[in-house]
Amino acid sequence: MDQGVRKRTFTRSRALRSIPSVPLIAAILLIAACGGGGGGGGGVAAPPIVGIAPANGCASNPVTGSASGYPHASEPIGTVRQIYDGALSPDLAVTTYRNIDRLFPTRTIEPGGTPSALPTAATQLTQLNYTVGAATYSLANFVSTNCVAGLLVLKDGKIVHETYQYGNTQKTRWMSMSVAKSITSTLIGAAVKDGYIASIDDPVVKYVPRLAGSAYDGATVRNVLMMASGARWNETYTDPGSDRRQLLEAQISQKPGSAMDLMSRLPRAAAPGSVYNYSTGETQVAGEIVYNAVKRPLAQYLSEKVWSKVGMEAQANWWLDSPDGVEIGGSGISATLRDYGRFGLFVMNDGVAAGQQVVPAGWIAEAGTAKVLAGGNPISYGYLWWIPPSGPSAADGAFYANGIMGQQIYINRKERVVIVVWGAQTDPAGKGTLPVVPFFDAVVAALK
């Protein structure tokens, strides 16, 4: 077995303030009227804001621990079917989301030797107000309503805000959900730079011959990156009969090749490049493209190209489709809050790690730009990155990775801001939550 495989074993209010005093911290906690959380430091750090009272439907704020090893390893967890059914209790959602490496076999994404510094800024973002429609919300409203389990804001590479909730700490690993799609996209960029993929206009079947004769025969790598292969797909998470759930069942089976067997049977619904249709199956194809092109596991390639070079502080994990198999290209990474932030900084810095250009020059700008389908129809999507359709973020050319249950990595290269959000939501459709882009816009505005 591969050595790295582990068995299942915001009107806005600008409020930049200097590092909070003890009385201010106490006031924040009193207002929150809820205990819990925990935070990590590093240098002379402002204490992370913890203990914001959860909204109805969010978990309580437990404090958990372990005498040694991963601090959450002994917690109860639910099942992956419960996640996609929206059937987890709020508390069980929290303990499951920080232990997803217990749901499937994983491969380890190894960090380098010395973590890169994330210094704390001299002033911290502690408050802001922003509007959605006629309603005004605060930073605490966003954290509470969206069941935020962790929040990291970086400006110019420095921490201006760090929040841990629900007993999470700097050592906690949290699930990526579809944030992994954007990471897989970045690996395709790296494979192009390294010459393993000659062009993203190459046909998919050049790298995944298993799909010859399928709906993917005739589609290009670029089509897959745009979710525009033309293959029919139903992404409904809560429908047991949907294609998304059939892909999940293939993963649960842990049978080698079962995911590509499913993808090979999909009928064609449109000409390649002509219709955008969000599909997690598309990103499993993207993962297979990387795996077959670079001739090694995605986790290993991610470690070699990014994780070991940008100074990640902890090991991360990535789900496999079968023991010692292929990584799940559209989901299943678990990493620390700060390491997700470091990945965001790597992207913000045009894909440069340790002074080396990891992806082709201009790749990040291209991947984070809204695409146009054949026929001229624009979409608010790049190469497996989401593009704000309007507002300040759109004007700045910002983009973000997005996963269900409230996971995001937002990147604004113009203003040099990275925002990482962990969510502990339980509804795959995100009902009752606040939209994230207005929050991102308000954070960026408050930091100017």
pLDDT digits (tens, 9 = 90+) for 39-90: 333 334 455 655 566 676 788 766 555 544 899 999 999 999 999 999 999 9
> Residue 186: its pLDDT value, please?
98
CA distances from 432 to 55, 57, 82, 437, 438 (A): 10, 9, 19, 15, 16
Q: What is the domain class of 5-64+76-446 according to CATH?
A: alpha beta
- Tell which wins on pLDDT, 17 or 293: 293
Question: What is the DSSP code string of 152-197?
Answer: EEEETTEEEEEEE-TT--TT--EE-TTHHHHHHHHHHHHHHHTTSS
> Residue 237: its pLDDT value, please?
96
378-435 pLDDT tens trace: 999 999 999 999 999 999 999 999 999 999 999 999 999 999 999 999 999 999 999 9
| Residue count (the chain) | 448
Q: Which residue has the tokens 């201006």?
A: 160
> Residue 49: its pLDDT value, please?
55
Give the chain's radius of gyration (CA, Å). 21
**Percentage of the chain lying above the pLDDT 90 cut:** 84
Neighbouring C-beta atoms of residue 8, cutoff 10 Å: 11
Measure the CA–CA gap between 219 and 381, rounded to whole angstroms: 18
27-48 pLDDT tens trace: 333 333 333 333 333 334 455 6
> Residue 54: its pLDDT value, please?
67
Mean pLDDT value across residues 199-223: 98
Query: Torsions phi, psi of 82, nearest 5?
Result: -60, -40
Entry pTM: 0.89
Helices (H), 1-147: 22-32, 80-85, 90-97, 139-145
Q: Do 185 and 286 touch, CB atoms closer than 8 A?
A: yes
With CA atoms as reference, report the closest residue to 321 among 103, 83, 105, 148.
105
Measure the CA–CA gap between 278 and 282, rounded to whole angstroms: 8
Tokens representing 447 are: 């930091």
